[in-house]
Amino acid sequence: MTNDNSLIGAGPGEPGLVSVVIPTYQRGYILDRAIQSVLDQTYRQVEIVVADDGSTDSTREVVARFGPVVRYFHQPNAGVSAARNLGLRNARGEFVALLDSDDCWLPWKLEAQVRLLKRFPEVGMVWTDMVAIDDDGRCLDEAHLRNFYAAYCELPTNDFFERSGRLVDLWPDAPDQLSGRKYFLGDIFSQMLLGNLVHTSTVLMRRERLQLVGGFDQTHRFAGEDYEYHLTTSYHGPVAFLDVSSILYRVGAPDQITAPHLALYFAQGNLRTVQSWLARAQGRVRLTPGQLKRRMAGSFGWAGREELRAGQLSEARRHLLQSLRLRPFQPRLAALLALSLLPRKVYHRLQYVRHADRTVAAEKKETAQPAKEPDHALTR
């Protein structure tokens, strides 16, 4: 774990100011929407810090159109963790928010979160739910968090937080859509060990908590840095969740970190994070032996599946075997373990045949559909 705790400058930061850190790479075509969503916030005391991770497109020009209201910093391409750290180093506020450059905020987001942090000074971070949208802005899921993060299946919100209340009690004149919504707060470090619950673009953090957590681990260059960071944040004290969607989260685009080709890095990063935290924080962990066994079996199994898919046979074999030792009855994993024992040439030949079969099946399905006549055929 390589978090730099000296990354965030000393002192409390400018009182009331929210520093919004937007890391970006080659997103000139969409970055303006993220920036404008910050400028449209009902909470007005904000600064925007764009951390450009080596873009060669129109990113610099897009930022320049907003004038001095946006502070722009550029670095050679080094990955999203390094870009976020660049932004954090230059954040001046009492509070810091993180916003990915292809997401947008709803106008009341910061005001609701700042009110909660001011009411509960022991809380170091607050996050929310999110709306999933496609590239055209169409709503795909109005409450996407619990569908996106599998840990919520085992952890109903009411069960793992210690306190709750109504958002209207913190903000009496809140917009109508927030009046019936609840907030939850408490120590959730142990629950976070079972899987990530926090989506980064929904987060607002208190500067004091950031100074304890430090920066993002830059050894997670491609993926997996978010879980490790939010787990560390939860380790250092109480956090809070607003049970309402405050951002528009774009899904399905090929330039996203959740693209399928990055699944290997997510799986390996998840395993590394869980193993390191269980080793260093045993006194803080309040989970049953059964929960820990299931968690580690799942982490080893996920890493093994993705390593097998990537052709990393020896690593896959080791992790699949470790998963099966913890939970022997996993027939699918046992079959994958058998595949990993094949000679490399045989395995790659099977992968080639499987890919070819899928391609042929897809082509047959496409040609089986009746061809749509061009519109002009209707006039014949």
pLDDT of residue 372: 38
Check residue 360 and give its pLDDT: 43
Task: For the beta carbon of residue 332, count every other beta carbon within 10 angstroms.
Answer: 9
Which domains are present in the chain? Answer: 14-256 (3.90.550.10), 264-363 (no CATH)
Pairwise CA distance, residues 231 & 226, whole Å: 8
Average pLDDT of the segment spanning 182-191: 95
Amino acid at 16: G
Cα–Cα nearest to 257, from 140, 148, 155: 148
202-227 pLDDT tens trace = 999 999 999 999 999 887 655 668 99
pLDDT of residue 136: 87
Mean pLDDT, to the nearest integer, of 263-279?
92
169 neighbors 214 (Cβ within 8 angstroms)? no
Stretch 348-362: mean pLDDT = 59
Residue 5 has pLDDT above 80, yes or no: no
- 83-137: per-residue pLDDT in tens? 999 999 999 999 999 999 999 999 999 999 999 999 999 999 999 999 999 988 8
At residue 276, does pLDDT exceed 60? Answer: yes
Q: Is the model's pLDDT at 12 over the cut of 80?
A: yes
Return d(Cα 91, Cα 82) in angstroms, integer: 14
For the record, the structure tokens of 31 come out as: 């970055």
| HEC-encoded secondary structure of the chain | CCCCCCCCCCCCCEEEEEEEEEEECCCCCCHHHHHHHHHCCCCCCEEEEEEECCCCCCHHHHHHCCHHHEEEEECCCCCHHHHHHHHHHCCCEEEEEECCCCCEECCCHHHHHHHHHHHCCCCCEEEEEEEEECCCCCEEECCCHHHHCHHHHCCCHHHHCCEEEEHHHHCCCCCHHHCCCEEEEECCHHHHCCCCCCCHHHCEEEHHHHHHHCCCCCCCCCCCHHHHHHHHHHHCCCEEEEEEEEEEEECCCCCCCCCHHHHHHHHHHHHHHHHHHHHHCHHHCCCCHHHHHHHHHHHHHHHHHHHHHCCCHHHHHHHHHHHHHHCCCCHHHHHHHHHHCCCHHHHHHHHHHHHHHHHHHHHHHHHHCCCCCCHHHHHC
The pair of structure tokens assigned to 144 is 């996407």
- Indicate the average pLDDT of the chain: 88
For residues 43 and 365, the model is more confident at 43
* pLDDT higher than threshold 50 for residue 380: no
Q: What's the pTM?
A: 0.86
> What local confidence, expressed as pLDDT, does residue 153 receive?
82
pLDDT for 69 beyond 60: yes
How much is the pLDDT for 343?
Answer: 86
Cα-flanking dihedrals φ and ψ of residue 20, to 5°?
Answer: -105, 110
pLDDT digits (tens, 9 = 90+) for 133-156: 998 889 999 999 999 998 888 776
The pLDDT tens digits of the residues spanning 193-204 come to 999 999 999 999
Q: What is the per-residue pLDDT across 291-340, written as a single tens digit (0 to 9) for each?
A: 999 999 999 999 999 999 999 999 999 999 999 999 999 999 999 999 99
